[in-house]
Structure 1
Amino acid sequence: MLNDENATPRPGRPVGHGPAERPAPQFRLDSTEFAADPHRAYAAMRGRGPLVPIELAPGVPATLVIGYQAAMQILGDEARFPADPRRWERNAPADCPVTPMLGYRQNALRTAGVEHTRYRRTLSDALDTVNLHSVHHAAARAAEGLINSFCEAGAADLRMDYAFPLTFRVLSELMGFPEEAASAAYQGMAAMLEGVGAEEGQQRFIEALLGVVEQKRERPGDDLTSRLLAHPEGLDPMEMVNQAALLFSAGTEPTCNLILNALLLLMADEQYGGDVLSGAMDTRDAIDEVLFEDPPLANFCMTYPRQPQLVGDVWLPADQPVVISLAACNNDPNVVGGDRKGNRSHLAWGVGPHACPAQPLAQTITRQAIDLLLDALPDIRPKVPAQQLRWRTGQFHRALVALPVVFPACPPMRLT
């Protein structure tokens, strides 16, 4: 490893993208082909080793980590691999479509060192106040109302009729967001994730959250936004917006997609679906299988080395994003093997100082959403074969466009 920015790098293979280095990367993560079958792309990458040069967008080089051990090394070493992107951002193209996702934020995700510790403390302290029993009941109330809104029809799109509104309602309630502000924030966040109108989406997102923060400053309530405002660290308005943005964005879109990906597994895979319905397997085991195979944030946990860093026999360039492919690392042939039931060694929640602090919250919402839907509609199945379902493009997420289902129609019921 290097400790001196002026030190001469030891011999090793470059993974950079300069003119004297390796050929231009062959892999793009923002294509419809990648979205349709990312595991095929990961398999094609493996011939290049655990560190692969990619483009996150045209002219935006990065390194994708597809090896489990390399990922563990990088995620556990904040000194060499900080999550602060400011040096990269200064040299990024002015119209870079991924800057809204990768750029600097005053929150626990996009900072390092003392700054990260401060934001992480405020976030963790606020989350520690969340009563998971209350979340369980909030998710149940939302699930019951949504299921009863479509159960008589015998068909639904589980994305827009169930998973999205459920997570949206529960997180909006937890955060204390009025419906209009929450809707504007979500639309902005979705644009950032998909890279379409990302800059405008980012502005819409910030404006919506600024309005909520100001409302809560004047009229605090029993919600996470108010608790962040009352924290002894004394966050300023933009720090508050960035912390609230992280909580809301991490709680809605990824949780929604985790619910959908798990439901698809349970409906399309007879072994998993049958075992969960019969009680032979806990829902959490099915969720963990999805977190191994198709985590909702498939490529994430970005770091930005400030100087060239040697990982194995490969030099990673300075001031260029290093993106962990959580999906590829989880399925690294060098570590995968045997029955994964009860195995929670996947990287879907991150590892190290930036690991997700809201795992219990997301797990509670996801399990409740799945259990209540399958209890109410045990014969539910996809309307089309799983291979015909479409996946949303985007470098970072694994997200279905829709999940149309059919089931025997039934009258509204009491589920809780």
Structure 2
Amino acid sequence: MTLRYMPDAGRLYGEEYARDPQAVYAELRRRHGAVAPVEISPGIGAHLVIGYQAALEVLTNAGGVWSKNPSAWQTQLPDTPEAAGMIAMLGYRPSALFADGAEHARYRKVASDCFALVQPHKLRQMVIEVSDSLIAQFAAKGEADLAADFARPIPLRVFNLLFGRPDSDSATLSKALSDMMEADGEVGKRGSDAFSQYIGELIQSKYAQRGDDLTSWFIDHPAGLEGDELVQSVVLVMAAGFDPTSSLISNAISRMVSDDRYYSSLSNGALSTYDAVMEALRAEPAMANFGPYFVRQPVHFHGTWIQPEELVLVSYAAANTEPTNVPEELRSDGGAYLSFGAGPHRCPVSDPALLIAVTAIERLTSHLSDLELTVPRAELPWRPGPFHRSLAHLPVRFTPIRPDQPGDSPWAPHSPSSSTPSGPIAPPSSTSYVTSAPWSS
């Protein structure tokens, strides 16, 4: 599909983009300013908002012209595998991501109310136990791929447990979500279909038997979500919780183990884990370009005409890193990041995501304090895809630790009364870490 804004478009796919997206943003900024034409897949175009102020205007709905509803855009797409992959990520669903006004507020309240029931100290304990169970699987080897072996499984297992699905189902969920996030034609559609099926089966099981878990709370929430509303709301929250959080963990770790400001050994760095996470959010946000918006009527925006059937993507990665001659302490944005969004659609569960990421990394570095990359950071491989910034692999080496070593270890029970035997600890039960909803019967 060739749209009028496609000439001179940058490509948000392919090896060159995956290797150095900031170079692509810099060239787009030089040629086009704050809003640039891009292809997100062969023949599928979009306007990419790469200026910080322009991004903030879209996110806060300045002028009331911005909408999240993609219906008009969808009607313009061809019947191709590439378009199917994009629809899997961006096509309309009855959920907070694609709604405006009162409809959006209703969907959003369900997520914010239900996550408010997850107590932070209990969530932290869940993350510790899941993290230790993973670390115990590679701690004695002296090497690991921290993307595949650690960063990806943690939020997957944590959210799986919070939503009330058995830990043994995590592998199925991981495959579906990874395929969907690639948004690569048939692969993206297959992942989207598998993920929707997974969530549908989860919801049916909770209709049959409620529990103290997020799915049951979504079902019983006074907002009264039904049918596809309920399915898509759970889909959105679980997908938004898994891939961005796992990428945040691996992106932050890769910075910590390659930057002496964080440690020469991880025990004596000048900057903290929280600092690394904040820097990853600013410079390499996990959902680099996943800020879809549309206009209700033709709009001339920062020098570019935009029509209602055209896709606009906020590039958090480009906006966060926009060059400026103003010193950081004098910038009106304070050098801030937009990675969780801004305005009415800002992520309602950013605090749990940060808690999971910081706790997981701190647990890793408390056990393995001499982590180092096996290749230079500039040579680390990144997953393809227009929307995310996510490491494919994060290979590290470290001094092995053994189950029989003295001191704290990932094999140690977490409670004096625990009867957990020596060896990898059992996955936690979600019902031990949540509280009953006030609206539950």
TM-score for the superposition, normalised by structure 1:
0.91
In 1, the alpha carbon distance for the partners of 2:56 and 2:322 equals 12
**How far off its partner does 1:43 sit?**
1.0
Aligned length: 397
> Are 1:293 and 1:327, in contact at CA under 8 Å, matched by a contact in 2?
yes
8 Å contact kept, 1:68–1:335: no
Change (3 A) 1:335 1:259: farther
**Cα distance in 2 between the residues matched to 1:49 and 1:146:** 45
| 1:170-198, Cα deviation, whole Å (9 max, x unpaired) | 11111112345543333222112112311
The correspondence for 1:83, drawn from 52, 60, 68, is 68
Provide the secondary structure at the position in 2 that maps to 1:272.
Answer: coil
Offset at residue 336 of structure 1 (A) = 6.9
**Alpha carbons of structure 1 residues 262 and 336: separation in structure 2 relative to 1, 3 Å:** farther
Residue of structure 2 equivalent to 1:13: none
Distance in 1, matches of 2:94 and 2:255, equals 37
- Partner deviation per Cα, 1:335-362 (whole Å, 9 max, x = no partner): 774479xx67200000111100111111
Deviates more, 1:50-59 or 1:308-317: 308-317
SS in 1 for 2:222: coil
Shift, 1:379, TM fit: 0.6
Q: Which residue of 1 aligns with 2:373?
A: 382
In structure 1, the residue matched to 2:117 is 129
Contact 1:268 1:382 survives alignment (8 Å): yes
1:185 is the counterpart of 2:173: yes
The runs of 5 or more residues in structure 1 that have no matched partner are 1-16
Report if aligned partners of 1:288, 1:344 keep a CA contact under 8 Å in 2. no
Aligned match for 2:394, one of 393, 400, 403: 403
| Structure 1 residues 142 and 148: CA distance shift in structure 2, 3 A | same
In structure 2, the CA distance between the partners of 1:326 and 1:23, relative to structure 1 (3 Å rule), is: closer
Pair 1:94–1:337, CA change in 2 (3 A): farther
The superposition leaves residues 277-296 of structure 1 with CA deviations (integer Å, 9 ceiling, x where unpaired) of 32643321211111111011
Which residue does 1:366 correspond to in 2? 357
1:41 counterpart residue number: 24
CA deviation after TM superposition for structure 1 residue 276, in Å: 6.5
Q: 1:23 to 1:367 in 2, by over 3 A?
A: closer
Q: How many Å separate the matches in 1 of 2:26 and 2:58?
A: 21
Distance 1:75 1:336, change over 3 A: farther
Structure 1 residue 26: Cα displacement: 3.1
Return the alpha-carbon distance in structure 1 between the equivalents of residues 409 and 329 of structure 2: 37
Q: Which among 290, 293, 311 is matched to residue 303 of structure 1?
A: 293
Q: Given the superposition, is the C-alpha separation of residues 335 and 290 from structure 1 closer, same or farther in structure 2, using an over 3 Å criterion?
A: farther
Question: What residue identity is the alignment partner of 2:367?
Answer: A
Deviation at 1:251, TM superposition (A): 0.9
- Aligned equivalent of 1:345, options 313, 317, 336: 336
What secondary structure is seen at the aligned counterpart in 1 of 2:262? helix
The one-letter amino acid of 2:409's match is R
Decide which of 67, 76, 97 is 2:51's aligned counterpart: 67
Change (3 A) 1:144 1:179: closer
2:313 aligned partner: 323
The Cα of 1:275 is off from its aligned counterpart by 9.3
Where does residue 94 of structure 2 map in the other structure?
A: 106
Instruction: Confirm or deny: 8 A CA contact 1:181 1:212 kept in the other structure.
Output: no
Distance 1:310 1:26, change over 3 A: closer
Contact 1:213/1:237, CA 8 A, preserved across alignment: no
Alpha-carbon distance in structure 1 between the residues aligned to 2:359 and 2:150: 12
Query: CA–CA distance in 1 between the matches of 2:47 and 2:263?
Result: 37
Equivalent positions of 1:160-175 (< 5 A) are 160-175=148-163
Change (3 A) 1:275 1:115: farther
User: What is the rounded CA distance, in whole Å, between the counterparts of 1:335 and 1:316 in structure 2?
Assistant: 29
TM-score (norm 2): 0.86
SS of residue matched to 1:109: helix
The whole-number CA distance in structure 2 between the counterparts of 1:173 and 1:394 is 28
Alpha carbons 1:310, 1:316 under 8 Å: kept: yes
Q: Are the equivalent residues in 2 in contact too, given 1:302–1:322 (CA < 8 A)?
A: yes
Q: Which amino acid aligns with 2:108?
A: R
Contact (CA 8 Å) 1:302, 1:323: kept in 2 or not? yes
Instruction: Tell me how far 1:218 sits from its aligned partner.
Output: 1.0
Deviation at 1:74, TM superposition (A): 0.9
Could you tell which deviates more after superposition, 166-175 or 261-270?
166-175
Shift of the alpha carbon at 1:414?
Answer: 3.1
* Code of the aligned partner of 2:379: Q
* Secondary structure in structure 2 of the residue aligned to 1:202: helix
Which one-letter code corresponds to 1:224 in the other structure? Answer: L
| Coordinate RMSD, CA, aligned | 2.1
- Of residues 123-132 and 22-31 in structure 1, the stretch that sits farther from structure 2 once superposed is 22-31
What is the aligned partner in structure 2 of residue 50 from structure 1? 34
Cα distance between partner residues in 2 of 1:283 and 1:260: 12
CA contact (8 A) 2:266 2:370 kept: no
